Structure 1
Amino acid sequence: MDWNRVEGNWKQVKGKIKEQWGKLTDDDLDVIDGKRDQLEGKIQERYGYAKDQATKDVDDWYGRQTW
């Protein structure tokens, strides 16, 4: 499965994203709009993570999802 599924179902996925990364605001999620690079950037910004850590966290989260 590729990231297109997340982009295509962003409205439904936003809740799962907020469960995982509660520091992301609704405004952040609206700006991200399903774009992986935007998500990673906001995670870096809100949590102070390095890019590698944000990428790993998104990979781990994505791998745990049951679509």
Structure 2
Amino acid sequence: MNWDIIEGKWGQLKGSVKEQWGKLTDDELTEIAGNRDKMAGKLQERYGWTKEEADEKLNEFFRDK
């Protein structure tokens, strides 16, 4: 899915994102607001992933949305 679309639908997608990555807080999800770079950064912080790992997980998750 295109990240412009994700940003536009962020309110609808937040619940699914929270389900997938439960370590992210509601405040962090609000701060991310569908921004790919912010999302990857928060996933790196919370899960200890490299940038490449975070990007791969994001691509996998949003490919089907």
1:7-64: CA deviations, max 9, x gaps?
0011111001011101000010011011011000000000000100000000000112
The structure with higher relative contact order (CA 8 Å, sep 6+) is: 2
What RMSD, in angstroms, separates the aligned Cα atoms of the two structures? Answer: 0.8
Please list every run of 5 or more consecutive structure 1 residues that lacks an aligned counterpart in the other structure: none
Scaled by the length of structure 2, the TM-score of the pair is: 0.94
Please list every run of 5 or more consecutive structure 2 residues that lacks an aligned counterpart in the other structure: none
Q: How many aligned positions are there?
A: 65
Scaled by the length of structure 1, the TM-score of the pair is: 0.91
The percentage of counterpart residues that share the same residue type is: 49
* 1:43 and 2:43 matched: yes
Structure 1 runs of 4+ aligned residues shifted over 2 Å read none
